[in-house]
Structures are given as C-alpha cells and as structure tokens.
Amino acid sequence: MKYIKYMEKHLKTLVLIDGNALIHRAYHALPPLTSKKGELVNAVYGFTLTLLSVLEKFHPEYIAVSFDLAGPTFRHEKSADYKATRVKAPDELYAQIPRVKEITRAFNIPIYELAGFEADDCIGTLARQAEKENVRVIIVTGDSDELQLVTKMVNIFMLRKGIKDIVLYDEDEVTKKYGFTAKRLPDYKGLAGDTSDNIAGVSGIGAKTATNLLQKFGSLENIYAHLEEVKESVRKKLEDDKESAFLSKDLGTIDVHAPLTLDLLSCITKDFDRNIVSSLFQELGFFSLIKRISGNSQQSAENENDPSTTLRAGKKMKARKIVTQEEWEKFLGTSEIFSVYVKQGEGTLFGIGIETVHIATHEKSEASVLWNEETKIFLQEFLEDETRKKC
C-alpha cells in the first residue's frame, strides 16, 4: 500500500473515521463472529481492527469518528427518491452500532454526528476546517463518495474488498482512477447518476460519456454553457434532463459547511485505560487484540504466553482426531473464508502448518491455501473461541 508521499513531517495529522462505512464493510466482509454470550460482533471486530491499524500506521496527533443518525437528511427533503431503492441493512448490523460507539469511547475518541446530515457531511466539514488550521487529514472509510474530498491536504484511506484490501488515495490516485480530478466527482454523478443512492443523472448517459464530457469541458455548468459543441445525440439527452442533472449533482455533493465545529483539543489522540479496553475485548471475545493495546512489555509478554490471547505457532501437538474428507467439509462448512481447498479422494488430515499453511488429505497429496493477514485473523479467532465446536 502506498503511503502519503508528500506528507511534511512538521504537519500534524487528523484521522477522521466514517463509523457507519466501516461497520457496513466489516459486517458483510467478515464471518458471523460471536462473543461467548452469543452476541454477534463481526462488525465491531472489523471496526476495532481497522481502528488499531490506523493508530499503528499513522500515529495521528488527532482523531475522531463520525456516525449517521437515524432519520431523513436534507437530501431526502430535496428528493423523495434519494436512496429510496436501497435495501435496509439487517437488524443484526444496526444492533452492533452501540458496541462500536462503546469501543470508540473506551479509546477516548470523540464522536461527531448531526441530525439531518450524513456522516460524510460531518467528515467533509471537519476536514475543511482542519485544512484551514494547516492540519493534514486522513479519512478512513469504505465509501467511495468521499473521494470527492481529496485535496493536497486530505487523503482517503479506502477499504475496498473486505477490511484488508486498502488503497490510500491522494489527488493523483483519484485522477488515475476516474480520469478527472476529485472535485469533479459530483459533476460525474450529475451526468451518470449513482444507482446505489438512486441518483438519476441524465438518462442515456453512462460512465464513458460522462467522463469524456468532463475531460473536455471540466464541469457540469461548463458543459451546459457549451451545449452547441456537444454532438447532437448527447446534446438532446442533456437538454431533456437538465433539471435532473443539476439535482443529481447537488444530491451527490458532500456538504462541507454543516453546522458543526471541529474542536482539535478534544480530538487530541489521548491515552486510554487499558484495563477498561482489555475487559471490553475479553467480553467481546477479541482475545487476539489484547496484546496490541498492552501498555508495557511485561503485560505484552504475559499475553504472548497466554494461549487465550495469542495463537502459538510451531508447537508440536498430538492429533485430536483423524477425519475423512467428508467429515472435514461438514465440519468446516465455511471453508471458503479460509480459502481452503481439499483435493478429491479420502485420506487423513495431518495438520495445518501455521506459516506455510498446507492441508494434506492423504500422505501423497498436498494443497496450498491462500494465507494472508485476513485469513490469519479468522483462523486465530476461530481457534481461540472456546464456544465454537472443533473436532
């Protein structure tokens, strides 16, 4: 992953996290992890993992999290069709939001939310205010709408597939991706629309035509100011849907002037009570994360030696059970999560090499398994969870 290539060392950094975007991303990316009490916590886990990673990677001087509030926003007042076709997220996802906020507060991180506005409006407003204070901003999100906020001072730490596929967007990366600058993304929505938010755009104009128009004319306003230069078939579509084009651009524009104020003092990255956070992690079953918040080497060493908090590799163990291929597949019904591939034919499962990760179903057959940090996380949590059945 590319880091911010021009981040001056003397500039302080504010990390702004889109809480709802991370919750949605983690909920759909991770398996249904549960606590010992049976509470579904996969979205909470994904959010927490990302939070820790961001703190470790960027060591920001300031940090804050923003959430959506239930209820309509000013965009719904402008258009009843806005997000009207979006399927409501499962209740199991929304039920995890209070836990995510509990995690956020346990880390002494302030929360910004505003009735009638979305989290990205709060983030956009805070980012622009931080820029005026000469503070560098890193926005952590899984929502590509926020790429329009990218400037020389604002970068996007974008989670794509899952929670480990990450791209850091600066101005050059956005231009490389779309073919035009970040500030023209609302103009693009004005033309091509956005099906995910039920933003209509101009009927009959797709991504390619919208991109070509913006590359030639620069903005939606300039396109309409030079309609005579647009070929007839496209011009007719633009003329017929002019009202929709400008409404769509308006709906797709993040409000960077929402009525809230950035308090940098409250956003200073503070120390937190590790006992409180550790207890919360234990309650949620996040044993592998406890060592990442250890405040001293002694505690870290204790966690490293505690089998309930870390996965030990390389230790010789006696086989608990010899299983056939059918038993293996029945037992690990979610094998695709670990990218496990079992060859045809029966045999005995001799084991899993934690670092090399090979699975053999008989003496002369071996299949490689995709092994990465995300796989390790899933496997580690599964093995450490005493409530989940193992053969």
Q: Which CATH number belongs to the domain containing residue 29 in this structure?
A: 3.40.50.1010
What global pTM score does this model have?
0.75
% of the chain with per-residue pLDDT over 90:
66
Q: CATH number for the domain including 210?
A: 1.10.150.20
> Is residue 284's pLDDT more than 70?
yes
> Is residue 285's pLDDT more than 70?
yes
pLDDT for the residue numbered 385: 63
Higher pLDDT, 344 or 199: 199
What range defines the domain where residue 123 resides? 13-177+255-267
> Is residue 248's pLDDT more than 50?
yes
Q: Are residues 65 and 121 in the same domain?
A: yes
Q: Are residues 133 and 259 in the same domain?
A: yes
Instruction: Kindly list the distances between the CA atom of residue 307 and the CA atoms of 35, 55, 169, 313, in Å, as whole numbers in the listed order.
Output: 17, 26, 39, 11
H-helix or E-strand containing 284? helix 274-284
- For the stretch 308-340, pLDDT in tens is 333 223 333 444 455 554 554 555 544 433 433
CA distance 19 to 29: 15
SS3 361: strand
Answer whether residue 301 is part of any domain. no
50 pLDDT tier (thresholds 50, 70, 90)? very high
pLDDT for the residue numbered 326: 53
Answer whether residue 201 is part of any domain. yes
pLDDT for the residue numbered 242: 96
Answer whether residue 337 is part of any domain. yes
CA distance 111 to 284: 21
Q: Are residues 159 and 41 in the same domain?
A: yes
User: What single-letter DSSP state applies at residue 259?
Assistant: S
> Is residue 115's pLDDT more than 50?
yes
pLDDT for the residue numbered 304: 36
Answer whether residue 289 is part of any domain. no
Answer whether residue 52 is part of any domain. yes
CA distance 142 to 44: 15
Q: Are residues 188 and 153 in the same domain?
A: no
CA distance 258 to 117: 8
**Average pLDDT of span 375-391:** 62
Q: Are residues 172 and 227 in the same domain?
A: no
* Count of domains forming the chain: 3
Answer whether residue 107 is part of any domain. yes
Answer whether residue 127 is part of any domain. yes
Q: Are residues 342 and 371 in the same domain?
A: yes
pLDDT for the residue numbered 376: 60
Higher pLDDT, 376 or 252: 252
Token couple for 352: 């899993």
105 pLDDT tier (thresholds 50, 70, 90)? very high
CA distance 124 to 255: 7
Q: Are residues 33 and 91 in the same domain?
A: yes
Q: Are residues 167 and 193 in the same domain?
A: no
Answer whether residue 277 is part of any domain. no
Tally the C-alpha atoms within 13 A of residue 193's C-alpha that lie toward its C-beta: 20
Select, from the ranges 84-88, 168-172, 313-317, 340-344, the one with the highest average predicted confidence (pLDDT): 168-172
**Average pLDDT of span 60-69:** 97
**Average pLDDT of span 17-33:** 94
Q: Are residues 104 and 25 in the same domain?
A: yes
CA distance 111 to 13: 17
**Average pLDDT of span 27-31:** 92
Alpha carbon 94 to its chain's center: 16
Dihedral angle sign, alpha carbons of residues 55, 58, 64, 68: negative
Instruction: Kindly list the distances between the CA atom of residue 115 and the CA atoms of 70, 71, 112, 245, 357, in Å, as whole numbers in the listed order.
Output: 8, 8, 11, 27, 49
**Average pLDDT of span 258-273:** 96
> Is residue 114's pLDDT more than 80?
yes
67 pLDDT tier (thresholds 50, 70, 90)? very high
Measured between alpha carbons, how far apart are the two ends of the chain, in Å?
Answer: 38
Q: Are residues 163 and 29 in the same domain?
A: yes
CA distance 342 to 20: 37
161 pLDDT tier (thresholds 50, 70, 90)? confident
